[in-house]
Structure 1
Amino acid sequence: MASRLPPVHALSAFEAAARHASFALAAEELCITPSALSHRIRLLEEFVGERLFLRDGRAVSLSEFGRRYLDVVKAALRTLSDFPLPHRTAPAQPRIKVTVPPTFARCLLVPRLSEFAALHPDIVLELFLSVPLYDLSLSESDVEVRFGAGKYTETVTEKLFEEPTFAVASPAYLARIGKLDTPADLKQATLLRSALEPWQPWFEVAGLDWPEPSNGLRLDDLGLLLEAVRHGHGVGLTRQHFVQDLLERGEVVHLFKDIQLKTPPHAYYVVYEPQVRARPEVNVFIDWLLDTFGKL
């Protein structure tokens, strides 16, 4: 007797919902209604006899069984999608799933994508966002750009670039609290905190024997950190390629221009599993990333 197999459309719905951690976003990707996606998930749960997701209001997360089953499903779908079909009349365009941090995507990658598209118009890029320092799984992407210390096991890790960090504030904030002539004057300022741009290494360069701030607004997104600076919430650390436009428009001010942390603890890296270089489209994209951002 032939064994019964799970429906492929339900497997695709499960993989998309797990990747997005959202039924609504998965339904949008698959061009179906959220109720249709929920029906497919229920169908698959009935098939396997286990709950795949834990539901808390609108939030969903994988169950323990769901996490284990996802690995099997992704491997099966990848095998089907990668299997060569020599007689297919209209081959699918090569696609690359790329996961990137939000500020890098907004300020650096997207403005340069037209260059890659001009060189490789046949390659489709699919961009997904990740949270720096937290999302460390390559399981759902072909290539990742990570912002961190560059210590990632069992992957190929190549540095894209690093930039010095320096302090900035808005003119309105400076007018409110008074001039900041020396780093020691920061004792009267609100220091915006971020795990991505810690203050303590910059303090050392500035000659301040101060600990890392433990109070005040914390923003673990470099773009949000700059927005908080721009809106006058305090002093923050940033990098040239992110803040250049704001500096030119006079919306923020570069403080203590002779003090920069030349080698900050975090930089940008391209991260991938060794075997993906065997795919020509992925290989040329990684080389383009290294060439493009290695020149910054």
Structure 2
Amino acid sequence: MTYRVPPLQCLTAFEAVARLRSGTLAAQELCVTPSAISHRIRQLEDVMGIELFNSVQGGFTLTARGSEYLEVVKEALNALSHYSARPRSAGEIRQLRVAAPPTFARQVLVPHLTGFQDAHPDIELILQLSVPLVGLKSENADIEIRFGTGSYPGLETVKILDEPVFPVCSPSYLRDVGPFQSPEKLSTARLLRCPLEPWRPWLVAAGLDWPEPSIGAQFVDLGLMLEAAVNGQGVALARNRMARSWISSGVLVPLFDLQVRSIYAYYITYPPGCEEGSDIVKFVRWMTDILRNPLK
């Protein structure tokens, strides 16, 4: 017998949108983008040959056929969620490979790992480092945290951290080369270079039509650049979570109140079609919840 069954991710998207009456809320619940939700609804309508929702400004309302189909989908999802094809043995450990850029891994991921391990003792995390922007890593990962523009074709992509940048330096550098009472005074400072954190957006916001710095070593890692700043080598651009440990310990000090959004942010990516309740979805939800909370 041939079954005409739509993809499971389309069914879960449909049920979530119908229940929450919002594509944005459904996307947050399923840890995907709103555009992915829209794509799944359209795919489901194409497969079934029916219109599921009425176009109503500010929300979603089910069509008559959509309401009928929702009851079928809810019953099917409920049946599937209460049956396991292979019961897991007590204490069974499953591995989950997570790749992340070095500074994110050290400053954000590792400090919170205990919380995930306590909540999911049956999941063994294998952490590996990746190269920011390029995304190179030593082995295939189930989940990858990426630093870049957010364009990762073929993967589910969720923005998890988009912090503004601001200049920092060590107290000794501020004493020896400063004070920097205004952004213009940075003309006497060495602006540390990192292709991951270009200076132009901040300079423009500060009213300075200066080119990107062209003197000194380049650091292809945010943590290395911040370490250079800690060692009195110049002024670096920092983000709150990435520089939190250095700033809280006093080895780096912010110079100005001006904070500017960068062209890059952190995203979490994973293969499409992950089922609700899978280890990947559990990790994605945990990570997004951690970063949704403000720094204390």
Shorter-normalised TM-score: what interval? 0.5 to 0.7
Taking structure 1 as the reference length, the TM-score comes to 0.66
Please tell me the residue identity of whatever aligns with 1:125.
Answer: L
Confirm or deny: 8 A CA contact 2:107 2:245 kept in the other structure. no
Instruction: Tell me what 1:236 maps to.
Output: 236
Identity %: 43
Provide the C-alpha distance between the structure 1 equivalents of 2:169 and 2:100, rounded to a whole number of angstroms.
27
The change in CA–CA distance for 1:180 and 1:91 in structure 2 (over 3 A counts) is closer
Kindly state the Cα deviation for residue 294 of structure 1 after the two structures are TM-superposed.
2.4
The change in CA–CA distance for 1:231 and 1:243 in structure 2 (over 3 A counts) is same
The change in CA–CA distance for 1:275 and 1:90 in structure 2 (over 3 A counts) is same
Provide the C-alpha distance between the structure 2 equivalents of 1:166 and 1:251, rounded to a whole number of angstroms.
16
Provide the C-alpha distance between the structure 1 equivalents of 2:88 and 2:165, rounded to a whole number of angstroms.
52
Name the count of aligned residue pairs. Answer: 211
Does 2:263 align with 1:260? no
Kindly state the Cα deviation for residue 248 of structure 1 after the two structures are TM-superposed.
2.9
The change in CA–CA distance for 1:203 and 1:282 in structure 2 (over 3 A counts) is same
Report Cα offsets for 1:71-101 as digits up to 9, x if no partner: xxxxxxxxxxxxx995997885211110011
The change in CA–CA distance for 1:147 and 1:277 in structure 2 (over 3 A counts) is farther
Report Cα offsets for 1:44-66 as digits up to 9, x if no partner: xxxxxxxxxxxxxxxxxxxxxxx
Give 2:292's match in structure 1, choosing from 288, 291, 294.
294
3-state SS, counterpart of residue 232 of structure 1 = coil
Confirm or deny: 8 A CA contact 1:95 1:124 kept in the other structure. yes
Mapping for residues 51-62 of structure 1, pairs under 5 Å: none
Confirm or deny: 8 A CA contact 2:107 2:241 kept in the other structure. yes
Task: List, as ranges, runs of 4+ consecutive aligned residues in structure 1 with deviation greater than 4 Å.
Answer: 84-92, 136-139
3-state SS, counterpart of residue 204 of structure 2 = helix
Kindly state the Cα deviation for residue 135 of structure 1 after the two structures are TM-superposed.
1.9
Confirm or deny: 8 A CA contact 2:91 2:122 kept in the other structure. no
3-state SS, counterpart of residue 213 of structure 2 = coil
Taking structure 2 as the reference length, the TM-score comes to 0.66
Confirm or deny: 8 A CA contact 1:138 1:144 kept in the other structure. no
Instruction: Tell me what 2:128 maps to.
Output: 128
3-state SS, counterpart of residue 270 of structure 1 = strand
Provide the C-alpha distance between the structure 2 equivalents of 1:91 and 1:214, rounded to a whole number of angstroms.
56
The change in CA–CA distance for 1:89 and 1:185 in structure 2 (over 3 A counts) is closer
Provide the C-alpha distance between the structure 1 equivalents of 2:88 and 2:111, rounded to a whole number of angstroms.
35
Provide the C-alpha distance between the structure 2 equivalents of 1:88 and 1:287, rounded to a whole number of angstroms.
22
Mapping for residues 1-296 of structure 1, pairs under 5 Å: 92-135=92-135, 140-257=140-257, 259-261=258-260, 263-277=261-275, 280-296=278-294
The change in CA–CA distance for 1:88 and 1:290 in structure 2 (over 3 A counts) is closer
Provide the C-alpha distance between the structure 1 equivalents of 2:139 and 2:248, rounded to a whole number of angstroms.
40
Provide the C-alpha distance between the structure 1 equivalents of 2:97 and 2:115, rounded to a whole number of angstroms.
18
* 5+ long unaligned stretches in structure 2: 1-83
Confirm or deny: 8 A CA contact 1:149 1:267 kept in the other structure. yes
RMSD, matched Cα: 2.4
The change in CA–CA distance for 1:166 and 1:282 in structure 2 (over 3 A counts) is same
Confirm or deny: 8 A CA contact 1:230 1:252 kept in the other structure. yes
Please tell me the residue identity of whatever aligns with 1:260.
Answer: Q
The change in CA–CA distance for 1:129 and 1:180 in structure 2 (over 3 A counts) is same
